[in-house]
Structure 1
Amino acid sequence: MNVIAKKAKRFGAKVNRKVQSRIDEVNRKQNKKKSLKSLRETNVRSDLMLLPASGEQMLFRVTHKLNLSKIHADSRSCMQKILEEEGMIHWEFPTKANVASTIHTLQTNQNRLLTILKNRPEFSHWYFQYIKQDGKPAGAPRLVREINGTTKFDAVRLYERVAFSPTSNFRSGSSQGVLLSFWTEAQLGSNESVDSDGYSETIEQVIVAPIWNENATLLPNPVSRQEEFHNSLEKAMKTLSTQVDFAIDAVYTWVDGSDNVWQAQKASALNVLDAEEFVDEAVSDARFADHDELKYSLRSIAQFAPWIRKIWIVSAGQTPKWLNMNNPRVEVVSHEDIWPDEVGLPNFNSHAIESNLHRIKGLADHYLYFNDDFFLTRPLDPGAFFFGNGLSKVFFSRAMVEFTEVSTLDNASSIAAKNARTLLDSRGYQLFSRKFFHTPSALNRKIVEQAESEFPDAFEITRSAQFRDTMDIAVSGSFYFNYALATGSAVPGQIKYDYIDPATESGRDRMKRMINRRDKDCIVINDGSTPETDEERLRTDRFIRESLDLLLPAKSEFEL
């Protein structure tokens, strides 16, 4: 009977918990409806709208000037200002660029701070979530006006939801918000020897982090040990060896294939070269087709990688008509500016151009090399491409560099990779068999210079070829990756990526799915690899433009 009674008691308790959980959920929804109704009745802002999100209606600020990196920075500065105005001690440690900013303060400030936020009209459309010790949210997001000031919790995430338009899924969310971490007071005791016969206990007043972070989880109490707190905090706030704090630039290669001058130079160069030496697709017009990819790729940097220091666009003396040349963060560099001599100019060979990128005057030691059809697709931290010690990350694919001789069956990337393998093998470096994802390349200028000093002939041969040639190496691609791996300057990394061929049904479907989910770090849209009729090319061009406008609809600071 006792066993049956215990089971019945446990079952009853389980039922009660489920019932209570259901009641809490109903109450939450009712309170949310009341809050939204009250907000609609009192709202005088025309930029606030209820939009569907996560299966329910949520409040959004709508603006065509949506910039995720700016919202991230503004949310942080807004919270800092309130804490400073209220005289509440607070501090920050370096955090990743693709997560909510974390601001630390004392548990004793919690009720007063949240009451202030709850009553400030500028936060009326913001959402909050309680955060547990494991860093995960406790419950669904609710409007800040629903905060219960008496509830005790470890941390809270606050953020506003912003949409580009009522129909766009380009939106900000919790990653652009602020995490308030409330440290609790505690005492640490330790035994200290007094004499040979006894001990006395030393009590240290400290504060303890509610959620783990990699900088510090315990500090002297700032109230009772102010000087010690500031000394410890100064050390804890320094950049750790795991964190990237060096400048990173972005370098693009770009050409306007519709430019008459450039077309004339190309035709002249073709007349004096032996066509049999060229890789099959080297002079394909599709290789130089422009769908405004560069404009959208720069938008992706503005939205998702604001930590890029400067953008360099390497071109054949051409400048995009839409580019804002007054922006100090972007500069156009001509081939003549980076070529050591006139041999190979004018040039139409991406391998040759890439072999000279490290000669850009003013280029940071660490840089990402982009083709103009590369796109970041969600916020990223520089740690996605580099380690804090400066090592590059490389991203292996499952595509192979087969151990066969270079032949007409090989495409340009396979030829360049085989040439690189032969070259590295000649110096006793380890062999490789795999290709790499077509993503932004994380490069170190000093390592490229080191490689050029070790293989000067290969660099010279590559940059001398006006069109892609069977002797090329990919200095900013497979050659660098494998040389850096062999010399301990790079290690394998992981990245969520997709290769989109917009001329295929599969590629178009994956592009649509990625835009809806926004679940990749970056993509490449490789137009021109699938043969198409003129009519099909027009359809593909329209698809690319429409897709990019859905993915990145907001103009960037780099546009006129």
Structure 2
Amino acid sequence: MVRKQVSLNNPEASAFVSTYRSLVPVGARRKIVRRLPSPLRTSVKRSLASADAVRSAVVVRALGGSRKGGRHTTEGRLRVVRVSGRHLRAMEVSGATAWAARARNLHLLVAVLEEAGIDYFCVRGTSAAVPCVAVPARLRPELEAALRLGSEDGAGYVGTVSPGQMRPGALTASWRGLRDQRVLRLAWYVCDPSGNLVFGRESGCDLEFWEERDGQLVAPRPNRVMTEVAVDAGRCWTEQKRFSPVPAPYATGHARTLPEFAAALPDDHLFPIDVVYTWVDDSDPVWSAGRDAFRRGLDGGRADGGSLHEQAANDSRFTSRDELKYSLRSIHQYAPWVRDIYLVTAGQVPAWLNTDFPGIRVVDHREIFADPYALPTFNSHAIESQLHHIKDLSEHFLYLNDDVFFGRPVQPGHFFHPNGLTKFFQSKALIPSGRASTEDLPVNAAGKNSRGLIAQHFGTVISQKMKHTPHALRRSILAEIEQVYDKAHRVTQHSRFRSPSDVPIASSLHHYYAYHSARATVGDIRYVYVDLADDLAERRLNNLLARRNFDTFCMNDTVTAADPEAQNRMVETFLEAYFPVLSPFETASGITAPRPAPRVAELGRAGS
């Protein structure tokens, strides 16, 4: 029911609309857009989505699935979902995540092989995102028979590693049609109860058939370690998380491999990576009273005693719609490699936060500010200048605002090189020319100040701002900046509100300083920024929800909305649909501590 409602409310998710966009050239579509008023276009899209939903319901009934009932197993409910216009069966699992679906597929494949007594070894494949298992090619008939049985529940599928249709794994014809393929993709499909999240081939596991030649097993494709091994080479055991990462509190069991595949590699990220958020509860009356008192000029508001720019402390800068809850869900869903999460606040704790779960800690401003007289502060630049003082924070960490989200599975390599160098993501937006002044937008003044410090120190002139993405930072570099730019750092720390004298230490200066000292590189990430005040914001959110094709995204507003309630409803509807699975950091999840391993196996075992 939930999935149907989402589809009707989001015309961008309609298969008919998607087909129209793929068949009609961009130029022709633009002509249609110019001739048809926006309300009419929206009405047509909704009609197409409605017809699509009716067609979907007919197919679901024909396949035997049901949104209210349907076939059950002892560990989940089998239901019909739609993937790229096709209707497939998936196991409905509460708490389904991308990493758990991937680890589950590896776990199930290994379990089938172990049960059937088939020789295998896990491989460090060419892609860190997809686990891989090798089997001697001579055992293919026995393997196919075992996997047909392991897919009898209907949720197991097999296909090629290149994009294409997955075939039911329980059918002999599916395997017969893939006999010429030496590498296959296996997946036992999983979905969450809302049906908005479906994890299939992208979260699958590769199966390689290694041919025997002159006493050697030869790989069908290159990998990261070796492509030949003696037939009688010894096997060893290692944790499955070596091949399919899961968060530290979770476990998935062990699997067989070769010693060479169990060893750490130079391109592995062996260092811990933490996440730091800065967060404020604008509904807290004590906090709000303090902010308003300083904003009225009781303390001048700024380190230089001047008046505030209208965007330095307007209400939209502090508005909270529980974005943090969903940003944490995005980490739990798409970044299982994160070690610890630190939430930096002004003595506030979200009412829904489960602080008992391992790996999350609330940090008060008073714990990290070098000068307690700089508090209270209402300036994110000032707070960011003190992040490296967090106790036990890892050397490498990501800094996020609560309006930044992971949109799909990401790897440590998106943000850090294996040797520890950081990556930063430049925006096409440019820093305005000239010196900082009271007339500048706070963000522009800060960028100008960063440019001045870099020019003075390195003799180059920076021009680009940064994208609103997670910022990859190093604790030692931030500490170095505090010493090298002592005066600017101290002034920023003591600015209670955003000021023309601020320096954006975490979001700009760190990146350019590290780059000039050979400790950072320019990175590339698929990212989108949605301005909530824009008239097209809802359409852009619908597109984002329908495609889920960005690594990270940011939703932001710098001005107070004309209709705050409508905007809040729009944001809440989008976030709940995009991140329907609760994270263990929420008290409402009912999870207060990790359960015994193997955790991912609890997501349901095919054929059991």
Q: TM-score, structure 2 length as denominator?
A: 0.77
C-alpha distance in structure 2 between counterparts of 1:59 and 1:77, whole Å: 19
Partner of residue 16, structure 1: none
Go from structure 1 to structure 2 and tell me whether the alpha carbon gap of 1:241 and 1:362 turns closer, same or farther (over 3 Å shift).
same
Maintained 8 Å contact 1:352/1:466 = yes
Deviation at 1:101, TM superposition (A): 1.5
Number of the residue aligned with 1:174: 201
Residue 462, structure 1, aligned to residue 472, structure 2: no
1:30-41 mapped onto 2 (5 Å cutoff): none
Alignment of 1:312-323 (within 5 A): 312-323=342-353
The answer to whether 1:112 aligns with 2:142 is yes
List aligned pairs for 1:224-373, cutoff 5 A: 225-226=233-234, 233-270=258-295, 271-274=297-300, 276-373=306-403
Q: Distance in 1 between matches of 2:571 and 2:150?
A: 44
Q: Would the alpha carbon gap of residues 58 and 85 (structure 1) be closer, same or farther in structure 2, given more than 3 Å must change?
A: closer
Q: CA deviation at 1:421?
A: 1.4
Confirm whether residue 544 of structure 1 aligns to residue 571 of structure 2.
yes
What SS does structure 1 have at the residue aligned with 2:291? helix
Label 1:126 to 1:433 Cα distance change in 2 as closer, same or farther (>3 A). same
Distance in 2 (alpha carbons) for counterparts of 1:163 and 1:331: 30
Q: 1:38 to 1:409 in 2, by over 3 A?
A: closer
SS in 1 for 2:564: helix
Matched, 1:71 2:96: no
Distance 1:227 1:386 in 2: 32
* Superposition pairs of residues 78-93 of structure 1, within 5 angstroms: 78-93=108-123
> Which residue of 1 is the match for residue 595 of structure 2?
none
Q: CA deviation at 1:253?
A: 0.3
Q: Which is worse superposed, 354-363 or 265-274?
A: 265-274
Distance 1:88 1:207 in 2: 15
The structural deviation recorded for 1:498 is 0.8
Q: What letter matches 2:572 in structure 1?
A: R
Change (3 A) 1:450 1:233: farther
- The residue type equivalent to 2:577 in the other structure is L
2:98 touches 2:199 (CA, 8 Å); kept in 1? yes
For structure 2, the 5+ residue unaligned runs are 1-58, 239-256, 588-608
Aligned residue type for 1:211: R
What is the alpha-carbon distance in structure 1 between the residues aligned to residue 71 and residue 345 of structure 2? 50
Is 1:405 equivalent to 2:430 in the alignment?
no
Deviation at residue 210 of structure 1 after TM alignment: 0.9
| Paired residue type of 1:488 | A
Which residue identity does 2:225 align to in structure 1?
Answer: N
Q: CA deviation at 1:95?
A: 5.7
Q: Give 1:295 deviation, angstroms.
A: 0.1
CA positional deviation for 1:308: 0.5
Q: By how many angstroms is 1:39 displaced?
A: 9.8
* Match of residue 29 from structure 1: none
User: Partners of 2:151 and 2:109 in 1: how far apart?
Assistant: 14
Note if contact 1:500-1:508 (Cα within 8 Å) is conserved in structure 2: no
Q: Distance in 2 between matches of 1:86 and 1:449?
A: 56
Tell me the residue number matched to 2:469. 439
The answer to whether the aligner puts 1:422 opposite 2:490 as a matched pair is: no
- 1:473 partner SS: coil
Are residues 1:532 and 2:561 paired? yes
Match of 2:14 in 1: none
Whole-Å separation in 2 of the counterparts to 1:255 and 1:443: 22
Amino acid at match of 1:48: L
Structure 1 residue 390 corresponds to structure 2 residue 420: yes
> Is 1:208 matched with 2:233?
no
Query: 2 CA distance for matches of 1:37 and 1:250?
Result: 44
Compare 253-262 and 93-102 and name the one that shifted more: 93-102
2:231 corresponds, among 222, 234, 237, to 222
Q: Say which SS state the counterpart of residue 585 (structure 2) adopts.
A: coil
Q: Aligned-residue CA RMSD in angstroms?
A: 2.6
Q: Which residue of 2 aligns with 1:154?
A: 182
One of 585, 594, 602 as aligned partner of 1:558: 585
Helix, strand or coil for the counterpart of 1:59? strand
Separation (CA, whole Å) in 1 of partners of 2:83 and 2:261: 39
Aligned to 2:594: none
Give how far 1:503 is off.
Answer: 2.2
Aligned AA (2:299): L
- The letter for the 1-side match of 2:91 is R
Q: For 1:274, give the aligned amino acid.
A: G
Q: Which residue of 2 aligns with 1:56?
A: 86
Q: 1:95–1:348: structure 2 CA closer, same or farther, 3 Å change rule? A: farther
1:343 partner SS: helix
| Contact residue 79 and residue 90 of structure 2 kept, 8 A | yes
Could you tell me how far 1:374 is from its partner in structure 2?
A: 0.4
% of aligned pairs identical? 32
2:276 is paired with a residue of what secondary structure?
Answer: strand
Q: Summarize the Cα distance change of 1:407–1:318 in structure 2 as closer, same or farther, 3 Å threshold.
A: same
Residue number in structure 1 paired with 2:520: 490
Larger-gyration structure (1/2): 1
Judging changes above 3 Å, is the alpha-carbon distance between structure 1 residues 183 and 282 closer, same or farther for their aligned structure 2 residues?
A: same
Q: Distance in 2 between matches of 1:173 and 1:411?
A: 46
User: Which residue of structure 1 aligns with residue 167 of structure 2?
Assistant: 142
* Letter paired with 1:248: I
Shift of 1:479: 0.7
Q: Tell me by how many angstroms 1:466 deviates.
A: 1.4
Q: 494-503 or 169-178, which moves further after superposition? A: 169-178
By how many angstroms is 1:97 displaced?
Answer: 8.4
Cα offsets for 1:195-249 (capped at 9, x unmatched): xxxxxxxxxx322211222222x232232x5499x9x943454333333222111
Tell me the distance in 2 between the aligned counterparts of 1:153 and 1:66. 30
- Structure 1 range deviating more: 336-345 or 451-460: 451-460
**Distance between the aligned counterparts of 2:429 and 2:230, measured in 1?**
56
Q: Distance in 2 between matches of 1:128 and 1:360?
A: 47
Q: Note closer, same or farther for the CA distance 1:339–1:60 as it changes in structure 2 (3 Å cut).
A: same
Conserved 8 A contact 1:247-1:309? yes
Displacement of 1:445? 1.0
Q: What does residue range 495-506 of structure 1 map to in structure 2 within 5 Å?
A: 495-506=525-536
Kindly indicate whether the alpha-carbon contact (under 8 Å) linking 1:96 and 1:381 is maintained by their aligned counterparts in 2: no
Between the two proteins, the alignment pairs up a number of residues equal to: 495
Cα–Cα, structure 1 residues 392 and 93, in superposed 2: closer, same or farther, change >3 Å?
farther
Match of 2:37 in 1: none
Contact 2:342 2:362 (C-alpha < 8 Å) held by counterparts: yes
Asked if the contact 2:398–2:471 (Cα under 8 Å) also holds between the matched residues in 1, the reply is yes
Deviations 1:131-151 (A, max 9, x none): 4xxxx25x5211111245563
Q: 3-state SS of the aligned residue for 2:134?
A: strand
Determine the C-alpha separation between the residues in 2 that align with 1:397 and 1:512.
23
User: 2 CA distance for matches of 1:343 and 1:78?
Assistant: 57
Alpha-carbon distance between aligned partners in 2 of 1:237 and 1:526, rounded to the nearest angstrom: 43
Offset, 1:108: 2.3
Instruction: Tell me the TM-score normalized by structure 1.
Output: 0.83
User: Letter of the aligned partner of 2:217 in structure 1?
Assistant: I
